[in-house]
Amino acid sequence: MVKKKQDKMPQAPAADRTKVLLVEDEESFIEALEIGLANEGFDVTVARDGHEAMAFFDQGEPDLVLLDMMLPKLSGLDVCRTIRSRSTVPIIMVTAKSEEIDTVVALEVGADDYVTKPYRLRELVARMRAVLRRTPEATEPSEVLPAEEATVEVGEVRVELDRRRAVVRGVETHLRRKEFDLLTLLMENAGRVLTRDVLIDRVWGSDYVGDTKTLDVHIKRLRTQIEVDPSKPTLLTTVRGIGYRFDGSTLSAER
C-alpha cells in the first residue's frame, strides 16, 4: 500500500522544490517532519519501511534521503548501502543515542551525515542544507545560502566557506586547501567523532590511495594553526582507534 501523503498547503511548483525522501516508521516523527520540512520549502515523500524506501527511491529520484536507522523489513544500514551502490544522493541517517556505534558504520557505508534523536528541526535543516551544498548539482538556486551567511562557527573558530577563510580567536589563519576542507568538515560535525576513513573519503575522495599518514600530517598542521597549545589539543581531539573530533560547546552554523 502506498501511503504517499500530499501536502495540503499551497506549494511552489514541484520542480523548484528539493525532493526529500523521509524514511521513518514512527508516526509522531513523520507528522512533525512533514509539516516542518514543507514549511522549509522541501517536497517530502514518506516511506515507512525499508522496502518502501527502495521502491520510492527508484520511482522518485529524491535530492536527499533522511533515513531512520531502525526500520521494519530492511534496516537503515541496508537501505543506505543499497542506495549508495547506485546513487550519490546525499543521505542523512537518523539514529537514537543507543545506536551510536551503528552511526560510525553508517558513515562508512556512505551516509553523508547523521542526527541523533531527539533533535531540533533547525539542526536537521541546517545539516540538510550543508550536505546539499556539498552536492551542488542536486541543489536548486533557492537552496543555496547567501554567501555572507555561509559560515560555520564553533566556539572561538569560524570558517567562511565562500572566501575560504578561517578565523581563530579573532585572527585570520592561513590554511592550505585540504586543511580548510578538513577543518570545515570537522566543525560541521562538531562534537561527533569522524572516523579516519570518513575524513579521508570526504576530503581526498574515495579513490584516494595515498599514504594514510597524510591525514595525520594535516591534523597536526591544523593543530598548530588553531590550538593554543598544539601539543595539548583541546579543539581538535584524537579519539583513539577511531578518528578525530572537533570539540565545541556551540554550533551556530548556517543561518
Minimum CB separation of residue 25 from Ca ion in Å reads 5
Residues 86-105 that bind Ca ion (CB under 5 A): none
Integer angstrom CA distances of residue 161 from 146, 156, 177, 218, 254: 11, 16, 12, 19, 10
Nearer to Ca ion, 68 or 181 (CB): 68
Nearer to Ca ion, 73 or 134 (CB): 73
Minimum CB separation of residue 255 from Ca ion in Å reads 28
Residues 8-67 that bind Ca ion (CB under 5 A): 25
Question: Does residue 201 belong to the site contacting Ca ion (CB under 5 A)?
Answer: no
Nearer to Ca ion, 83 or 253 (CB): 83
C-alpha cell recorded at residue 41 = 520549502
Residue 118 preceded by cis peptide, ω within 30: yes
Helix 196-204 with 177-188: angle, nearest 10 deg: 130
Question: Does residue 68 belong to the site contacting Ca ion (CB under 5 A)?
Answer: yes
Residues that contact Ca ion, how many (by CB under 5 A)? 3
DSSP state of 171: E
Nearer to Ca ion, 8 or 97 (CB): 97
User: Which residues lie near Ca ion (CB under 5 A)?
Assistant: 25, 68, 70
